[in-house]
Chain A
Amino acid sequence: MEYVIHLLILIGIYGILGLSLNLVVGFTGLLSVTHAAFYGIGAYATAILLTTSGMNFFLAMFLGAIICGVLSLLIGLVLSKFKDDYYALGSFGFNIIVFSIFLNWQSLTRGPLGIPGIARPSIFGYSLSDNMPFLILTAVVLGLVYLLCRAITNSSFGRVLKAIREDEQAIQTFGYNTIYFKLTIFVIGAVLASLAGSLFASYITFIDPSTFTLNESIFILAIIILGGLANNRGAVLGAVVLILLPEVLRFVGFPSDIAAQMRQVIYGLILVLLMLYRPQGLLGEYKL
C-alpha cells in the first residue's frame, strides 16, 4: 500500500510536469527540451529556502515559483530568437547550463553531494510526514494545475497559442504580437514545473543534480507525446502510463534491476512506435 501511494505521488508530480510542458510544446508548438531545468530550479529553491531558513513550505514553494518565473523569462527571451530545430537545440543548451550550475555552484547547492534533510510540509502545525497526507496535497496541486491549464487552453489566449503553433507569421498579420504570447506561456509552464519541483524536493527530502538532467526533460516530453499533445487529459494519462510501465514489467516477471534498465529502452521504443503509427499520441489533438 505504501508503495502504491508512492507511485501515485510520482504520477501527480509528473502529471504536473506533463501538463505544464504541454502548454509550451503541445499548444504553442515550441519544442522545449529544458523543462527539467525549471523542475530543478523549483526543487532547489525550495530545498535551499527550507534547509537554510526553516520557513513554511508553501512560502518556499511560492518564492521558488517566483525565482523560476524570473529565470524562465530571461531564458524565454533568449529562446525567442530561435525557431523550430534551433529552438529545440537552444532549449537543450539551457538544460545543460542549469544542470551544470546545480552541479558546480557548490556553496549554494552542495554540488554532487545534494541537499539532504529537506522538511516535509506542515499545514497549521500538522506535518505531512506520512505519505497519505502528502498524496492528498499532491493531488490537490495537480487538480489546481489541471484546472488552470484547462482555463488557459479554453480561453481566447489558448486559441492564439494554437494559431502560433500552426503559422506564426499568418497570425501576426491579424494583429497579434506573438512574442508576448510565447513568453507568457513559457513562463507559466516554467512556474508550474517549479511547483512539481517543490513537491518533489519535500517528498523525497533529498535532492541532487542527477534528477534534473536532459534525460529528465526528454522523459517529460515522452509523457506528453505518448499521452497526446495539446490535450490536458492526455498529459496526465501519459504520466500514468510511463510511471506504471516499469511496475507492469516487474509484475510480469522481469527482475527489478532488468526492469529498471528495460525502462529506458521501452521509453525509446514507445517514442519511435508512436512517431510511426500514432503521431498524435493516445488522446492528442496535434501531430508534431
Chain B
Amino acid sequence: MITLETKNLVKKFDGVHAVNHLSLSFEQCKITSVIGPNGSGKSTFINTLTGLHEIDGGSVFIGKHADITSIKPHEIGAYGMTRTFQEVRLFEQVTVLDNILVVLTERGVWGSLFENHTQYHLDQAEAVLKRVGLWEKRNELATGLSYGQRKLLEIARAISMPAEIFFFDEPFAGLFPEMIKVVVSVMQELRTKGKTVLLVEHNMDLIRQLSDYVFVLDSGKLLAEGTPDKVLSEKAVVEAYLGE
C-alpha cells in the first residue's frame, strides 16, 4: 500500500533545480532507497518532504487524501513521519538519555510543564538505547560521543518516535561494521513491523541487501527505478556514478 507520494515535486535553489519534477511513491512494509551521485538532490528531497524547505512546485500526499505540500517541520510528527539528518543533528549539550526522552514525552506546553518522564518513558528509552549500545553512556552529554555513536543516537532518537514513515539520510556513513549490523537490523525490523522506510545511501552492497525498490536520481531528475538488481546493472546508472 502506498503511504507517501510526490507528484511533480520541484525545489529550486537560485533558479537551479535541486529536485526536478519528481513523482515518486513509497510503500508500507518496504525499504525504498533513493540513490544517486553527490548533489543529485536526495537530501533536498527529504528536506522538502519534512518541511525544512518550501516547495516550489508539485504536491505531496500521505495516504490517499492528506495533502501535505506546505507542511511545517513541527507538523510532520502528527503525520507519522520522522527523520535523521545527513549531518548528525543531536541536542549536543544535553545528555544521551534526554536526547531520547525529549521525543517520548508530552508535546504541549501545559502538559509538559507538569510532567517529568514516567517510568514508562524511561523503559522505552532504556530499550532503544540498549539496542544501539548506548545505555551505559546515558548520563554523558551527546557532544562527547564518538562519530559512530552520535549517528547511532540519532537513529535511536528517530525510531523512538511513534511514526509510520522513516527517512534515513545516509545512516551508515562512517559506521564500523558492527554498528552497521545494528542499523541493518533496525531497518529490517521497521519493515517487518509494516513501516515505510526511505533510505538514502551510497554503499551499494547495503542497497542490494536492504532495498525492496530503488529510485536513482541524477541532477534532481529521476534516472531509473526498479528492483536493486535491475537498477544497479543499468548502463545509465553506472555511468551516472562513474561520470562523477
Contact = CB atoms under 8 A, between A and B. Distances in A.
A174 B101 contact: no
A174 B102 contact: yes
Interface stretch (B83-91, B191-199, B202-210, B212-220): B83-91
Contact of B102 (A160, A177, A230, A287): A160
A201 B47 CA distance: 52
Interface string B102-140: 110111010111111100000000000000000000000
Contacts of A160: 102, 112
A173 B79 CA distance: 11
Interface residues of B, number: 35
Interface string A8-46: 000000000000000000000000000000000000000
Contacts of B91: 162-163, 166-167, 170-171
B24 interface: no
Interface string A139-181: 0000000000000101111011011011101111111111011
21 contacts: A155-B112, A155-B116, A156-B112, A156-B117, A163-B102, A166-B90, A166-B91, A166-B92, A170-B85, A170-B91, A171-B102, A172-B74, A173-B51, A175-B78, A175-B103, A175-B107, A176-B107, A181-B109, A184-B109, A285-B93, A287-B93
A286 interface: yes
A139 to B, nearest CB: 26
Contacts of B116: 154-156
Nearest to A178: B74
Contact of B94 (A155, A157, A163, A172): A163
A198 B103 CA distance: 39
Interface in B69-101: 72-74, 76-78, 82-83, 85, 89-94, 98, 101
A44 to B, nearest CB: 29
Contacts of B103: 174-175
Nearest to B97: A159
Contacts of B92: 166-167
A159 B101 contact: yes
Given A156-B115, A174-B77, A175-B78, A162 B105 contact: no
B50 interface: yes
B161 interface: yes
Contacts of B113: 152, 155-157, 184
